[in-house]
Amino acid sequence: MGKVIEQRRKFSDERFETLRVSLADSPGICADKACVYATGSFGRREASPYSDVDLFIVSLSDKEDRIDRSRLSKLDEILLKAELIRVSRSLKFPEFSQEGRFLNNHTARKLIQSTGNQYDDAENTFTARLLLLLESKPVVGAAVHARIIDDVIERYWREFPDHYDRFMPAYLANDILRYWRTLCLNYEASTSERLPHEQTSVDRAKRKIKNYKLKHSRMLTCYSAVLYLLFFDDRNGTVTVQDAQRLVSLTPTERVEFVANELSVSEPANLIHDFLGKYERFLEVTDSSEEDLIKLFSDDTEAHKLRDEQSDFGDLAYKILFSIGQKNRLYRRLLI
């Protein structure tokens, strides 16, 4: 583990614990009914003093009710959101994006039953479910959070009992790739609302910043999980529920470190060490205010250099995946 990653983890954990302790009323509101989990830089344990906090609420459903009704009442949901907003403001976090548009209560039942259906993207359950698995950390309701994760994994691993000795997690791996491609499409859609000649220098700089972050932190979130699944499928010929649970328990950088340690001294392990070194460079660059980042990316020379760095990062990711997956059946399934 590099020095920058270590420092970011320490800062994230301390800041996160301050948030958790400050939410005095939320544990009582959630009780055994719901959880709140952080994603983004806090879920990845790589936050900086400039990081915002991205939160999701997921509640259990009433078992006796055929209608998917949340155990968290509407009034309790309002109280919970109010405290999340109040505490985040008191701790000087940036405001929730789009005035809290994504701070919605999803039921675990909907999160699971939406898997693969036509409404998954539209209702934001796809994003909530994938981030739950790939980069989440419970702020409130850790036991409920763990229970929901187990239920989601069970959904993806439902064919495992019949194929325990050769189970291939193509269902989850394909969803991860679908999430990555959705992020890329969303980037293009959100940054092409104005024609190039209508964009200001600030608009262009913000687009470059967003792309830089997409091609580092978001790429790592998705492909660290793909790498982990490829590694276990290649080594054991199967990927168990326990392997999946370990995947979820690790942050993206921890997953990559885990694979490197398992590979010991080898060419893929050396590639991974270089990969993490480049990711530390990304963390150093983004440890700045938005204003400073806009100035940096407004400089054409610096922006070009940073664009080359993100391209190198992507090339390394490809080399690592190919070196482990080139003769792997899961790798083949992901391509065709």
Q: Spell out the long-range contacts of 2-6 with Cβ–Cβ below 8 A and sequence spacing 24 or more.
A: 2/276, 2/277, 2/280, 3/280, 4/280, 4/283, 4/284, 5/46, 5/253, 5/276, 5/279, 5/280, 5/283
Please say which residue of 103, 125, 156 terminates a domain: 156
Q: What is the rounded CA–CA span in Å between residue 276 and residue 129?
A: 26
Do 128 and 179 share a domain, yes or no?
no
Do 238 and 313 share a domain, yes or no?
yes
Do 195 and 215 share a domain, yes or no?
yes
Residue 282 corresponds to which tokens in the numbers above?
């990304």
Q: What is the rounded CA–CA span in Å between residue 98 and residue 277?
A: 33
Q: What is the pLDDT of residue 198?
A: 62
**Where residue 65 falls among pLDDT bands split at 50, 70, 90?**
low
pLDDT higher than 90, residue 119 = no
Q: What is the pLDDT of residue 192?
A: 63
Tracing tokens 């050396």 back to the chain, one arrives at: 270
CATH number, residue 78 = 3.30.460
Q: What is the pLDDT of residue 97?
A: 77
pLDDT higher than 90, residue 274 = yes
| Partners of residue 105 on adjacent β-strands | 57
**Where residue 197 falls among pLDDT bands split at 50, 70, 90?**
low
Domain count, the chain: 2
Residue 60 corresponds to which tokens in the numbers above?
């259990």
Per-residue pLDDT tens digits for 218-231: 999 999 999 999 99
Do 138 and 202 share a domain, yes or no?
no
Report the share of the chain in percent with pLDDT over 70.
Answer: 96
Do 4 and 52 share a domain, yes or no?
yes
Tracing tokens 């999430």 back to the chain, one arrives at: 179
Do 124 and 83 share a domain, yes or no?
yes
CB atoms within 10 A of CB 102: 16
Q: In terms of Cα–Cα distance, which of 83, 236, 239 is closest to 156?
A: 239
The mean pLDDT value for 121-133 works out to: 89
Do 152 and 174 share a domain, yes or no?
no
Q: What is the rounded CA–CA span in Å between residue 13 and residue 40?
A: 13
Do 277 and 152 share a domain, yes or no?
no
Per-residue pLDDT tens digits for 14-49: 999 999 999 999 999 999 999 999 999 999 999 999
Global pTM value: 0.93
Which residue range is the domain that position 8 belongs to?
Answer: 1-156
Do 143 and 174 share a domain, yes or no?
no
**Where residue 327 falls among pLDDT bands split at 50, 70, 90?**
confident
Q: What is the pLDDT of residue 35?
A: 97
CB atoms within 10 A of CB 77: 18
Q: Write the CB contacts of 206 (distance below 8 Å, at least 6 apart in sequence).
A: 294, 297
Report the share of the chain in percent with pLDDT over 90.
Answer: 80
Do 152 and 200 share a domain, yes or no?
no
Do 8 and 151 share a domain, yes or no?
yes
Do 125 and 226 share a domain, yes or no?
no
